[in-house]
Amino acid sequence: MLTLILNVDRDNDYGIKAGIDGPVIGYGECYNAALKLISVDPEDSDSNALFGAIKHYEDLKKKNENVEIAVITGDDDVGEKSDEILSGQLDDVLSMEHYDNLILISDGAEDDYIIPIISSRIKIRYVKHIIVRHNENIESLYYYIVRGMKDKKISRKFTIPIGLLLLSYGVSLLGFTIYSMYISRYFVIVPSTGAIMLVAMVLGSYFLVKAVDIKGVTIAISTKFKEYSQETKISMLSYLVSFFIVVIGITYAYEYTLKVIPLINKVLIFITLLAWWVYGSYVSMELFTAFELSINKIKGISKIWYGISFSLAILFIFYGMMNYVRYVIGFVKFSSVILYVAYMVAGIVVALSSSLVHKYYSSLKNRDKNIMEIK
């Protein structure tokens, strides 16, 4: 009977800190991996758990049991992504040898997530937890708080909710203060309220930045943006033009509705006007894409025209419906509502026409493809 002793690193500390990719199989390989990780981060519980697995491996070997040891690693994006990687690595380990059962050695932190993955593939003989004993002199509240703040697994579980709570409170207090100043026409902030609002927003922002790693995300996005702009200059230009069209649309719609009352009518007009600018932004982006496809002699331009025409139909229907709502509320006269009903009818006609044309040309392409396959 062959037993597999398995250690699981769900958040991939071995890969991030020690540069070791899973799965790691064999006594010597696992020992070197644990040694490398603990030399980089002596406080990491994963290396201690693996040393515990190695010790258990040696104990079972002394009892003449047939055992093997392995480590599988996940991803720092703990959740679906990391568990999917763990499942794949576990399948790889189990495919290399026929194991009758498995012993899970862990620190107990992620058992609820790991055990279902393992038990769906192989019988678990038992689970052994490795708990690291600390020196009593350092077992203080300050030590654990500082250590927890440095540990991403712990900090994300606590600092994100705390950060969101503080930031939401600060923003809500700011909004309430501005509203009170507007109603009372007394544009002075009470010092105590301002201090609480500022502290809440600063602390909330700090906790979120620490937990989400804004700096790393910003660097990654800027790097990808630079690479993408170098590879596809036309597409990048289309995104910039589309963005500026939307910005101009927002400005135009806002200025147009400044003199409109009441508020609900102002909102409805703003949305209907902005919809045309958003459509213009979409059309400009699709035209740039069509130009890029034609230069590179790539098929797919017909789908772009279908998308533009069908989006126009949706815009007509949306514009007509929004203005019909204005008529129902009482902001539009009956003489004007006929035009908006015509917009909705035109939208339906354009949608049906574009769908029929697209279906016709798609059937022609499929027929030509079948003829080529027969030949």
Q: Are 204 and 166 in contact (CB under 8 A)?
A: yes
Q: Are 342 and 359 in contact (CB under 8 A)?
A: no
Q: Are 337 and 324 in contact (CB under 8 A)?
A: yes
| Residue 286 confidence (pLDDT) | 87
Which pair of tokens denotes residue 246?
A: 């939307």
Residues forming beta bridges with residue 348, ordered by sequence position: none
Which pair of tokens denotes residue 320?
A: 């007509």
Domain ranges of the chain: 2-133, 141-212, 217-374
| Residue 41 confidence (pLDDT) | 85
Q: Does the global pTM surpass 0.85?
A: no
Q: Are 10 and 111 in contact (CB under 8 A)?
A: no
Q: Which residues contact 240 (CB under 8 A, 6 or more apart)?
A: none
Q: Give pLDDT tens digits for 34-56.
A: 999 989 888 777 888 899 999 99
**CA gap 137, 123 in Å, rounded:** 42
**CA gap 366, 142 in Å, rounded:** 70
- Indicate the helix (H) or strand (E) that contains 39: helix 27-40
Residues forming beta bridges with residue 67, ordered by sequence position: 3
| Residue 213 confidence (pLDDT) | 64
How would residue 234 be classed by pLDDT, with cut points 50, 70 and 90? low
Mean pLDDT score of the chain: 81
**CA gap 20, 29 in Å, rounded:** 10
Angle subtended at Cα 210 by Cα 209 and Cα 216, rounded to the nearest 5 degrees: 75
| Residue 159 confidence (pLDDT) | 75
